[in-house]
Structure 1
Amino acid sequence: MSETDTVDTRSAKHIRRAILAILWVQIGIGAFLAGSDVMSGLDGVMRPSSAPSFDQPVRPGDQTRRFEPANAPDLTTDPSRRTPFPGGDNVPSRLAFEAADGTAFVKGQISPGDAVRFDEWLATVDVDRVRLMSPGGSVQDALHIGRTIRRNALETVMLAGDFCYSACPYVLAGGTIRQIDDEASVGVHQHYFDENTVLPAFIAVENIQRGQAEVVAYLTEMGIDLRVTEHALSTPPDEIYVLVPEELVEYGFTTAEEA
């Protein structure tokens, strides 16, 4: 073997070692970031929200409550005013649709794919307004459903005892006219913009920024005051900030007779 061959062989070994070192560093960084995300999630489990539950009345200045999407809160202080929602008090794991007397009843958690299901269902019924009961769910599907409602010039309505949390207010915002009973409940909080929270930080940040930009653009499109996002961004996912009637008017969720 010539001296040149020996030098080339040594150089190749150095390059391989350098590449391997870079790969191990990248793996280590990835493991650290993933571990940080997991520990953050575990921290949330180990230290649950200290906010009051929904059995405590919401008042101005005391509006944050513990949030469990699968559990429907009983919000009506005057049961005689409550208009039953089709399907009873259960909260389906994905949206359920019914129609009667010109009203579309949309109830349940908003799951990926529900927007397409809603489009297909809406084409088969004749309705003028949409009544909502949902703890939220998929942000992208909620934005799509809201735009479908606006495109079809439908109103949105919430009666005494109805609730609309998390991503659901985006659906509510789609109504050309939005009527919300004082004993209905609308609430906002931080969103997950990706189902997998164990992601490299730069990807997670990029997804959050993109998702938040889409939400801001949507709210502007629907005529909602962006100050509501201050409450959303400052409220963790395991809590909900309940908007009082004055805020619903101030931020544009409740409209006059003409949108």
Structure 2
Amino acid sequence: MSTVRRNPVARVLTGILVFQLGLGVLLFWGDLRDDLRLPGFGPRAPSLTEPIRPGDQTRRYRPDRAPPPGRPIPSSPLPDRLVLTQIEAGRTILLEGAIGEGDAARIAQQIEELAQAPERVILNSPGGSVRDALDLGRSLRSAGFSTALRDGDICYSACPYLLAAGVTRDIPEGGSVGVHQHYFGESTILPAFVAVENIQRGQGEVMAYLDDMGIDPLVMRHALVTPPDEIYVLLPEELRAYGFLQEIDDE
């Protein structure tokens, strides 16, 4: 009686194929869960347009999927890269749009080339590249800029790192600041599975940066437990507690 031996190369290739198929299912499932409420995933976070209340501050947030209009989302789409505009007779610059890769060097160069040196930076950004936010933030702090939001502006994801860079910071009641886990590519499953060491190193760098800017790194506790497709909106008392706003003196 003879036995048929399977080619070991074929077994290896079959194993690789099975692994790739399984990985594909995981990636598809990760994307699918963003759009459908499936059994076992629990209730979805409310929309960003829902009022924020203490203890109820996590909202759905996918800037690449056109959030519904209504505050705090601006009525018109923000640029997909940071755009610098001089306002208030050149004393202030407005940075609007997503923070793209390479924006730190590009915006820093544009600021350096301005005929009149500004004193303040107003932000209106859904976030973006963490690396560029940290690098640009260091440039803003080195130049001694103040940072601010206007009523109705948003500062989410990586944008708070730019906000933190101001030597003074002004956030009106109508401004909205929010944090969440950093996005590492199109899928949130594969990078976290493959690059845990890099993610941890990046989180450590972010916390050191916040400490350098005078912000309590404990603000990251909200970011670390909020998925990339959601945003944790900070309340005014939290903005004061973590150092984004000055504490109000009791007299």
TM-score over 0.5 for the pair: yes
Counterpart in 2 of 1:7? none
Match status 1:115 vs 2:104? yes
Could you tell me how far apart the structure 2 residues matched to 1:201 and 1:31 are?
18
Counterpart in 2 of 1:213? 204
Give structure 2 stretches of 5+ with no counterpart: none
Query: Any idea what the Cα deviations from partners look like across 1:82-121, whole Å, max 9, x if unmatched?
Result: xxx9xx8431111111012310100011111211211111
Could you tell me how far apart the structure 2 residues matched to 1:201 and 1:189 are?
15
Give aligned-pair identity as a percent: 48
- After TM superposition, the structure 1 = structure 2 runs for residues 76-87 of structure 1, keeping only pairs within 5 Å, are none
Q: Give the stretch that moved more between structures: 17-26 or 159-168.
A: 17-26
Could you tell me how far apart the structure 2 residues matched to 1:38 and 1:214 are?
31
Could you tell me how far apart the structure 2 residues matched to 1:164 and 1:96 are?
15
Match of 1:36, as an amino acid? L
Assess, with a 3 A threshold, how the Cα gap between structure 1 residues 28 and 211 changes in structure 2: closer, same or farther: farther
Could you tell me how far apart the structure 1 residues matched to 2:50 and 2:72 are?
10
TM-aligned CA deviation for residue 137 of structure 1: 1.1
Give the one of 198, 213, 231 matched to 2:222: 231
Give the one of 52, 66, 71 matched to 1:74: 71
Counterpart in 2 of 1:171? 162
Counterpart in 2 of 1:124? 113
Give the superposed CA RMSD.
2.8
Q: Answer yes or no: is the 8 Å Cα contact 1:136–1:164 preserved in 2.
A: yes
Could you tell me how far apart the structure 1 residues matched to 2:131 and 2:56 are?
30
- 3-state DSSP class of the match of 1:227? helix
Give the one of 125, 138, 143 matched to 2:129: 138
Could you tell me how far apart the structure 2 residues matched to 1:95 and 1:234 are?
27
Could you tell me how far apart the structure 1 residues matched to 2:126 and 2:193 are?
29
Could you tell me how far apart the structure 2 residues matched to 1:104 and 1:53 are?
31
Could you tell me how far apart the structure 2 residues matched to 1:60 and 1:197 are?
28
- 3-state DSSP class of the match of 2:233? strand
Give the one of 44, 50, 54 matched to 1:50: 44
TM-aligned CA deviation for residue 246 of structure 1: 0.5
Please report the TM-score for the alignment, with normalisation by the length of structure 1: 0.78
Could you tell me how far apart the structure 2 residues matched to 1:223 and 1:41 are?
37
Please report the TM-score for the alignment, with normalisation by the length of structure 2: 0.80
Match of 1:124, as an amino acid? E
Counterpart in 1 of 2:22? 32
Could you tell me how far apart the structure 1 residues matched to 2:60 and 2:11 are?
46
Could you tell me how far apart the structure 2 residues matched to 1:139 and 1:194 are?
12
TM-aligned CA deviation for residue 157 of structure 1: 0.8
TM-aligned CA deviation for residue 46 of structure 1: 2.3
Q: How many residues align?
A: 232
TM-aligned CA deviation for residue 31 of structure 1: 4.4
Give structure 1 stretches of 5+ with no counterpart: 1-13, 77-84
